[in-house]
Structure formats: C-alpha cells, structure tokens
Amino acid sequence: MCPRGGGWIDGSGASLLTEARLVCHVLLVETDASGLVLVDSGLGLEDLRDPRGRLGGAFTAIARPRRDPSATAYRRIEALGLDPGDVRHVVLTHMDLDHAGALADFPDATVHLTRAEHAAAMHPPTFAEKNRYRAVQWAHGPRFETYEPDGEAWLGFAAVRALVGLPPEILMIPLDGHSRGHAAVVVRDGDRWLVHAGDAYFHAGEMDPAAPTCTGGLRLFQRLAAIDPIRMRRNKERLRELARDHAGEVEVFSAHDPGELARMQARRAG
C-alpha cells in the first residue's frame, strides 16, 4: 500500500508529498497433516482487479494499494513452487478488508477467527465498522470456525489452543482493541514462537521496550480506527513485555511494517 505522507507515515524521512510504503504481512505455514496454512490473507487477486468495487473508494484513494498480482499470497505461493489449492486453512487476526481480501483466492479453505470478530463482520454494529468489513470478500461462502478463549494460557495470555483441523503448534491469543475480536496468531517454528500480532501495533518502534515510538501518521490512524484505544494501548504494553522477557524464544511482528517483513524474508532466504 502506498499512501501519500512519506516519512510522517513510514518513518523514512521522505516528504509528505511522496508515497509511504506499508505492507500486508502474510505468513505461510507448511504442516504435515493440515496442508498449507495462511495467517491472514492480505489483498487478493479480485481486490486488485476491481479495487473500488471490492475495497471501496475511500480505502482505495487513501491507501493506494499497488495493483501488482505477483505480490498477492496466491502468486507468492505459486512462486515458491507450491499449489495454492493446498491451502486448507486461513487463520485471521481479524476481518478488516486488507486482511481478509484474499479469502476468495482460497475458496476451499476453512477460515478461523474469534467469535467476536466474526459477529462484528457479519453484522457490523456501527457505521465505521460497515466500512472496514467488506462482505463481497467472503461472498463465496467459506466455512468459518469461530472461537472463544479456553484451555491453558500461553505465556500469560489467554489462548485458543484447539483450532479445528490444525496442529497444536498454531494457536490464537485474543487482543481485542483495534477491532472487537482482534487476535494475534502464534506459530511454533523450530525452537521459537512467531507471534503475528496483526494490527495490535503498526510500527516496529512501538515494540522498543526502552523508548517505544511511532510515526505521527500511524499513531493518528490507530487512534481513529481502534474500537477500544485503551485496550489497544494495554495490548502493546503486554506485547513489549513478551518480546523483552522472552527474547530469543519469541519473535513478535505486525501486519504492516515493511521493515519487519524485510528482516524476516532475509533471514528465511539465508
């Protein structure tokens, strides 16, 4: 996504008139028994073909998504030499249009999310929520599995551990605030845990335990978009504590910071 605002949004130092750069960070997980699993789906092929029709005029004008099909989850999976048809599950942090857009690219996948988020998306209670959720993105009728926290906590966080059809190495931790049913998705990767925090925060500087920082543009957007800004702020504090107290064991990353994505891609390539 390439909104105007330069460094005021992405921290690059560029002029306000230049394009900032944000990403939709999607995680692909290969499992032995459950096929391919996506954490979030990003924008999809149909979204890029008809952005105004599927994403709305306001989002398209402000976020200015780049219409590059090669950047979608579907095409990136193909580029890895894998079959997108093997994606059997999509685990969503939440159902905002830039996270659920590619569900239609994986029509046979079961979609996992919190019960509160599913309810908000299916029956948005406010005008703002009617704009952030786009029913056209799930008009193909996917199978939804919805959850409440239950079972053993994970490192002090309430957790959803028994995701239908998925191994225990994939779980959810509810972090409502940005939306009514927002959650982070946790994946065991060898000797560490990856925590896809979705939109619990937006800028890598917010995870600095000593002096958390965020750009002015992203700080303003988070305040305007949050259903509960106080809970969102508390979630950031808890994620900072998690990253600090379990350094080396846990890696936390967000959905939209391009620097975090580049760092993880470079390590995977290496």
Q: For residue 151, name the pLDDT band (cuts at 50, 70, 90).
A: confident
Q: Which strands form 183-189's sheet, in the order they lie side by side?
A: 170-174, 183-189, 192-196, 250-253
Residue whose C-alpha is closest to residue 218's, from 207, 203, 230? 203
- Got the DSSP string for 78-143? HHTT--GGGEEEEE-S---HHHHGGGGGSTTSEEEEEHHHHHHHHS--SHHHHHH--GGGGTT-PE
How much is the average pLDDT of 70-84?
A: 97
Measured CA to CA, the distance from residue 37 to residue 111 in angstroms comes to 10
Structure tokens at 27: 């995680």
Whether 205 contacts 214, CB under 8 Å? yes
> Is a pLDDT exceeding 70 seen at residue 100?
yes
Residue 41 half-sphere exposure toward CB, CA atoms < 13 A: 33
Structure tokens at 223: 């305040």
pLDDT (tens digit, 9 = 90+) per residue, 206-220?
Answer: 999 999 999 999 999
Supply the pLDDT for residue 11: 93
As to burial, measured by CB atoms within 10 angstroms (0-12 exposed, 13-18 middle, 19+ buried), residue 237 is: exposed
How much is the average pLDDT of 98-118?
A: 98
Domains of the chain in start order, with CATH, are 7-269 (3.60.15.10)
Mean pLDDT of the residues in the chain: 96
Measured CA to CA, the distance from residue 114 to residue 236 in angstroms comes to 19
pLDDT (tens digit, 9 = 90+) per residue, 192-249?
Answer: 999 999 999 999 999 999 999 999 999 999 999 999 999 999 999 999 999 999 999 9
Q: For residue 154, name the pLDDT band (cuts at 50, 70, 90).
A: very high
Kindly report the number of other CB atoms within 10 A of residue 99's CB atom. 28
> Is a pLDDT exceeding 90 seen at residue 269?
no
In the chain, the percentage of residues whose pLDDT exceeds 70 is: 99
> Is a pLDDT exceeding 80 seen at residue 270?
no
> Is a pLDDT exceeding 90 seen at residue 26?
yes
